[in-house]
Chains A and B, each alone.
Chain A
Amino acid sequence: MLIRSLIALIVLSSLTLGGCHVSGELENQAYVLVLGIDRAADGQLLLTARVPQIGKGKPGEESGGGDYLAFSANGADWPHALDALERATPRQMNLSHIGMIVVSEALAKEEGFGELIARIAKTPHLYTTARFAVCAGQASEFIGAMKTVIGTRLSSEISAMLDHYVRQGFVPDGIFADACYLSRSIYGDPAAILCLLMPGEAPAVSMIDPIGSPDAGIQSPMRQRYEGAALFRQGRMVGTLDAGQTRLLNLIRGSIEALPFECDGKAFTLTTEGRPHLSVDLEDGGAALSLRVRLTTLDDVCAEDARRLEARLASSLIDVIRECQRLGAEPFGFSEAAAGHFATVPDWLASDWREQYRRANVTVQVEIHSVEAQ
């Protein structure tokens, strides 16, 4: 009797599940893979969505084998533009699988961009693991030119490609949620992926600019280039770092494990020994930022070369930190270290940390150990 009652209850409960009347089938969904945001000529917000065309591919191919549609719509602000995009899309627009959000540089530099990020973040399910990129030109054009190159699906193509670049350190990890969180938080600032679309149909001659070799002369069928970082200060873009500087930024943030580095014409591969140690000393006269990095190299390096390498790397790291100080952006994590000196949030906010950071002295200590020498 008990089992029968239980089964009857479960069956009856299932009838009340409200989700049944909203069909969630694949055919009824328009999964947005990439979302572009621009400022249109008339001052409105222009949204562009890249959506896979389901069932257009050959039998056995996934997600249409590379057939994608782009829908665009504009509106006075985020809710209106999103509503217009929903109307432009002939299916239920599903934002839960967005792989990348691309914003034009001009829009990212606008005064109220921080509020726009906060507004975007309030859109349910939008920023689930999406990456955040700033495009040097129009985001709509950038998205329109996107296609699968190596993979079979754009969604996995984007994540695989960006994971690769992040591992190499050419771009910051640029998680959109982090950009939202840090734009509104009491700590540091986010860094977004910097990208651009090469003009014309000609492929990009150089995908990346590794440090010390600005033009590697690499040929690629892609028109998009992903290199460097877009720096933000309190939610607004204030400057950029090139691919080499971004590698050093990622080294300081502990995001990369290996760093190719060139010194006096010789190339070395350095491996990190744990996360770099960031500390902040708050004195009466101002703040002092300290960074300690420990690296290992498999290359045969004599003690003299190692000291020279350390000095060169320390100098490069100081240059990157000073550049960010000049821009007023703090993407490294010194803010979190400084916040630990305060008991309460009001005390921390009253300390005028940002101004202290801009004027802070920087000390970098690099230790390089050669495995061969050991």
Chain B
Amino acid sequence: MRLSIASHPARFAALAAVAARLFLGLALDASLTCNGAWISALIGGLLAQPWAFCVCRFKPRGKALPALLALLSLLDAAGVLSAVNRSAGYLALDRSPALALFLPTGIAALWCAWRNGDAVGYGAMLWVRIAPALLLVVALLQWPYYRPAWLCPILGSGWSEILEGGVRSAGWIASASAILLLPEEQDRPMASATLIPIAAGISAILIALQLMMVPAPLSSGGWLDRLDALLCNGRAPLYLQLPMIAFWFAGLFHLVLCELFAGAALIQRVFRRLDGKICALIVVAAALMLSRLEALPAWIDAVAPWAYPAVGALTAATMLLKGGRSPCLSEA
């Protein structure tokens, strides 16, 4: 079985994944950018857009870039799985073993990957159409509690941290949008590349909404504190948590699905003899094992500032040394 996806559903999968990854990374995982987190998301989107255009339009040759992106996607997917597990444990299932929390997500992701790329892409397409309605419900119900003044001072910790957040964001975008490398026929490369800043813009809006709910510098607390503030911020009524939780888990699920599928498909591009189902099984199992490592958040944090420079440099080097339009990506 060859893992593949058409360019149209791949764009939707990347859109949902990038928006969710930037929000997860800037609003929950990394606290360094404070009030300026939404600016970091926009900078990340602008940084990653030329790279996305390059890989969609010219399709760099060789196996190095798919291998690097597969590794980054796998690492990132493990981090997101860990976030899903921590969220589920925090909300209701705090006495459940980690394996029991992982299995529903892992099995669902594996099943979707085995149904191939269109299942992943068209699922994301549905989510992209439902999510705005859900977000509108949440935003309208929380409207009285938003305090725009909490966005000030507008630059948060300062330009240096905003730029660092931007570079990290670009790295997260690279791993979350690796699925854009997979379509064998890229019908509209510019449209694929343009969705990156659009997704970054959506993420910036979500981050700004969250910053208006909880004042700085509460982001200096722990991950669960930030999740608590996000899901049940203490002012919104209990019933409001339901659409928030649905939004949160559906967003994370599409992100992890997109990254796991991209990781499996890219591994198949590197090791062409491997069956797609085996690749998906390997990636899901590896993500499971990685997600249970205590050191994983530290690894992701350490990799984040270097991910985009590495991906960008490798893409440029591949283009210069081997050129574009690789048969390994466009054949079959």
Contacts and interface: CB of A to CB of B under 8 A. Distances in A.
A345 B152 CA distance: 8
Contacts of B94: 124
A13 B236 contact: no
Contacts of A130: 234
Interface string A153-197: 000000000000000000000011110111011110000000000
B302 interface: no
Given A130-B234, A342-B152, A13 B107 contact: yes
B185 to A, nearest CB: 27
Interface in A290-341: 333, 336-337, 339-340
Interface stretch (A14-22, A135-143, A212-220): A14-22
A345 B217 contact: yes
Contact of B101 (A18, A127, A182): A18
A122 B218 CA distance: 12
B95 A129 contact: no
Interface residues of B, number: 43
B149 A345 contact: no
A16 B108 CA distance: 13
Nearest to B232: A128
B289 interface: no
Nearest to B115: A2
Contacts of B149: 187, 333, 336-337, 339-340
Nearest to A339: B152
Contacts of B244: none
Interface in A333-374: 333, 336-337, 339-340, 342-348
Give the size category of A's interface with B. 35 or more
Interface stretch (B12-20, B75-83, B155-163): B155-163
Interface in A85-103: 96
Contacts of B232: 125, 128
A9 interface: yes
B152 A175 contact: no
B218 A181 contact: yes
Contact of B236 (A17, A19, A129, A336): A129
Given A12-B107, A16-B103, A181-B214, A344 B93 contact: no
B215 interface: yes
A124 B238 contact: no
Interface in B189-247: 214-218, 221-222, 224-225, 228, 232-238
Contacts of A127: 234
A178 to B, nearest CB: 7
Given A177-B234, A181-B215, A340-B149, A19 B92 contact: yes
Contact of A345 (B104, B156, B224): B156
A130 B95 CA distance: 25
Nearest to A180: B234
A344 B158 contact: yes
Contact of B216 (A13, A175, A185, A333): A185
Interface string B69-93: 0000000000000000000001011
10 contacts: A17-B100, A21-B96, A127-B234, A180-B234, A181-B215, A186-B215, A336-B152, A340-B152, A343-B153, A345-B217
Lowest 7 A-B CB distances belong to which pairs? Answer: A177-B234, A18-B96, A336-B149, A18-B100, A185-B215, A340-B152, A16-B103
